[in-house]
């Protein structure tokens, strides 16, 4: 009964009219001149289908949160220079990109909003949110006051920031705070000092676009101090996974008497392919939130709902200095993060503990919705594979085949109106080769990031079945790799080297932002002799392209290629997972949309398939399998986190 008599959050903070926004001029926050502690959770609009935004946001509010935080993904909103997509731009991701509707929905669900536009966001997102076409400018200097870089930033921000300005709290919208850059202190190294001038120029772009909300920065202050910020210009916030007291004490030293906030408190963590699934203690989460609130401070749980890095949009880490690629660590498609709300929006123990804590300590008391019922999931019946397209047939069918003397990076291939190739695969083809028996192919330096080798259409690179296989030919860890092409003499042979972009680095020192994809760094040799003049054939797997492919056949075969089956639904679609444990490595597309990557090495074994991606009637499922295929597509009601070495329980195709 008490909840029914309470005001909503917006009623409490806007009754009598709006006089001011979020203020940090004392040791506590005020909003519209009333005290407020921020109980926030991160959710990325670009990682959850638009049709499910309201469900996730309402669940956040029902837990007692009063704020949602999101990054903004530059690479999605400006896919080619000067062409923007904020929900109606015609890209494969356009349904995710209606940022205005997302923020208005948050307000409708009685949540305030913190927006972090970057331009760099990290987020375990492809290239930290940067568009790959920035790499085409030879002299560009990322995350500096370099005029070339800043011109691109300004063009994007001049399109984005007016949308945000109109939705600021002072203008009747939900946005109470905007972050400038992100974790800039982590660029510190022996060769680079973060530029205060860069931060000042970014701030000016925000101001010029009428951003009046509180401007913040966020850093791991326990490691980097104020290297990535300017305490005179911004409210400094902290990122950490434990020990709130140390980070908050440092904030007090930097900005005495100002509010303390954890912009990123980590309740879980993300996953790399080939590693175990990361989990975090629910007890530790509760203990640290209690410490944050008691300090006193505010928090943003990163992530509260992680969602999914659909398509090719997962990022990667690296534990060395590029261009040495041996320390490359690509992230999984799932961004579950072991967060309070799972990838599919389920409640967890962490969620329940947060709800109990905030019900006990949160002030002021405002009206909360009942927690929404869980969205049901179903394991559909197996879908048999009906058609196959050999990888060579797919490559042969392409019309774009520019020739270059030396192999170049996919970003430099002249496609997409001069913006290059961002995602997918790039094939390097050489025809009319005479190969003696025992001919050895050598790829000098490193592969960015994996490569299939076809000789006259037959894929000969060893399959990826265990994490240890990442140390062998075909993958990013091995330098100067070799493989035997043929055991008999071949004349007029064709070699295809199909290279996958497994996700660009999203975090690290400044030098690690110059990561191109493909066979750009070294030479290609056969029996020690340099081979020149390679065709460059992009395989981007855009929706319209995939749905118009021709050349399907009915044979049963287990080699590299595309496999197609149909999910027939007589009733309205429901959420599900596609169980890929019987397959080896590749990507899955549903109705032309790339769900994401799978790999037997785990830990992720299933791909989340939300109901909005399906339709009543026929649904096309296409799988690009790199190595060894299964005979059907299986489904699961839940994600499966396991590392598998080999599967013997499921029927496979047999090589013909």
Contact of 210 with 247, CB cutoff 8 Å:
no
543 CB-contact burial (10 Å; exposed 0-12 / middle 13-18 / buried 19+) = middle
Per the residue annotation, which of 69, 126, 264, 343 is the catalytic one?
264
Contact of 362 with 39, CB cutoff 8 Å:
yes
Per the residue annotation, which of 78, 109, 126, 183 is the catalytic one?
183
Residue 133 structure tokens: 């076409």
Instruction: Provide the greatest CA pair distance for the chain.
Output: 86
What's the DSSP call for residue 391?
A: H
Contact of 35 with 7, CB cutoff 8 Å:
no
Give Cα 341 distance to the centre of its chain. 17
Residue 350 structure tokens: 């962490």
Query: Between vectors from CA 81 to CA 545 and to CA 68, what angle results, nearest 5°?
Result: 90
Q: Which residues, at least 6 apart from 114, have a Cβ–Cβ distance to it below 8 Å?
A: 38, 40, 67, 68, 69, 70, 175, 176, 177, 178, 179, 263, 300
Task: State yes or no: is 183 an active-site residue.
Answer: yes
User: Rg of the chain's alpha carbons, rounded to an integer?
Assistant: 25
Query: What is the rounded distance in angstroms from the CA atom of residue 540 to the CA atom of residue 546?
Result: 9
Q: Kindly report the three-state secondary structure assignment for every residue of 21-39.
A: CEECCCCCEEECCEEECCE
Residue 188 structure tokens: 């510190």
Report, as residue numbers or ranges, the catalytic residues: 183, 264
């Amino acid at each position: 009964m008490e909840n029914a008599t309470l005001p909503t959050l917006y009623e409490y903070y806007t009754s009598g009219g709006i006089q001011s926004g979020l203020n940090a001029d004392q040791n506590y926050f005020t909003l519209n001149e009333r005290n407020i502690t921020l109980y926030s959770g991160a959710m990325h609009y670009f990682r959850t289908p638009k049709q499910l935004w309201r469900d996730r946001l309402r669940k956040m509010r029902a837990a007692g949160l009063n704020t949602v935080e999101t990054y903004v993904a530059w690479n999605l909103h400006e896919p080619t220079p000067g062409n923007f997509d904020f929900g109606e731009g015609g890209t494969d991701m356009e349904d995710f990109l209606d940022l205005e509707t997302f923020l208005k929905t948050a307000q409708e669900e009685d949540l305030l909003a913190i927006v972090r536009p970057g331009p760099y966001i990290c987020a375990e997102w492809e290239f930290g949110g940067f568009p790959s076409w920035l790499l085409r400018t030879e002299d560009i200097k990322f995350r500096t006051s370099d005029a070339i870089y800043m011109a691109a930033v300004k063009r994007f921000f001049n399109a984005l920031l007016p949308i945000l300005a109109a939705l600021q709290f002072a203008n009747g919208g939900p946005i109470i705070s905007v972050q400038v850059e992100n974790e800039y202190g982590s660029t510190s190294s022996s060769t680079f000092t973060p530029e205060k001038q860069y931060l000042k120029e970014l701030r000016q772009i925000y101001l010029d676009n009428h951003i009046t909300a509180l401007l913040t920065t966020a850093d791991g202050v326990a490691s980097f101090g104020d290297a990535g910020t300017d305490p005179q210009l911004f409210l400094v916030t902290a990122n950490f996974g434990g020990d709130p007291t140390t980070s908050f004490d440092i904030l007090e030293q930097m900005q005495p008497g100002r509010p303390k906030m954890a912009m990123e408190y980590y309740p879980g963590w993300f996953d790399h392919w080939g590693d175990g699934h990361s989990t975090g203690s629910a007890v530790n989460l509760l203990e640290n939130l209690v410490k944050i609130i008691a300090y006193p401070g505010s928090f943003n749980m990163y992530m509260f709902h992680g969602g999914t890095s659909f398509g090719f949009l997962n990022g990667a880490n690296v534990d060395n200095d590029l261009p040495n690629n041996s320390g490359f660590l690509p992230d999984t498609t799932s961004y579950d993060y072991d967060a309070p709300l799972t990838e599919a929006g389920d409640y967890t123990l962490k969620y329940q503990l947060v709800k109990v804590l905030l019900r006990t300590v949160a002030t002021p008391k405002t009206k909360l919705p009942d927690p929404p019922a869980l969205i049901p999931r179903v394991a559909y019946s197996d879908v048999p594979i009906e058609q196959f397209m050999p990888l060579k047939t797919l490559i042969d069918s392409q019309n774009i085949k520019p020739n270059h003397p030396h192999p170049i990076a996919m970003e430099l291939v002249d496609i997409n109106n001069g913006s290059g190739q961002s995602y997918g695969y790039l094939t390097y083809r050489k025809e009319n080769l005479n190969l003696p028996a025992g001919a050895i192919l050598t790829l000098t330096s490193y592969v960015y990031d994996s490569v299939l080798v076809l000789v006259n259409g037959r894929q000969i690179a060893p399959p990826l079945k265990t994490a240890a296989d990442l140390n062998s030919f075909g993958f990013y860890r091995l330098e100067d790799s070799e493989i035997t092409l043929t055991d008999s003499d071949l004349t007029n042979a064709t070699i295809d080297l199909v290279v996958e972009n497994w996700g660009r680095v999203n975090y690290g020192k400044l030098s690690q932002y110059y990561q191109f994809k493909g066979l750009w760094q070294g030479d290609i040799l056969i029996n020690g002799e340099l081979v020149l003049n390679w065709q460059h054939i992009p395989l981007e797997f855009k929706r319209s392209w995939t749905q118009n492919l021709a050349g399907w056949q009915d044979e049963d075969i287990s080699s590299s290629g595309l496999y197609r089956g149909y999910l027939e639904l007589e009733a309205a679609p429901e959420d599900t997972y596609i169980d890929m444990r019987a397959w080896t490595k590749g990507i899955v597309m549903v109705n032309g949309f790339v769900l994401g990557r799978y790999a037997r090495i785990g830990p992720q074994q299933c791909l989340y398939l939300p109901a909005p991606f399906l339709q009543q009637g026929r649904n096309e499922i296409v799988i690009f399998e790199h190595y060894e295929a299964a005979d059907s597509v299986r489904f699961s009601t839940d994600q499966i986190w396991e590392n598998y070495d080999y599967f013997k329980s499921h029927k496979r195709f047999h090589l013909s």
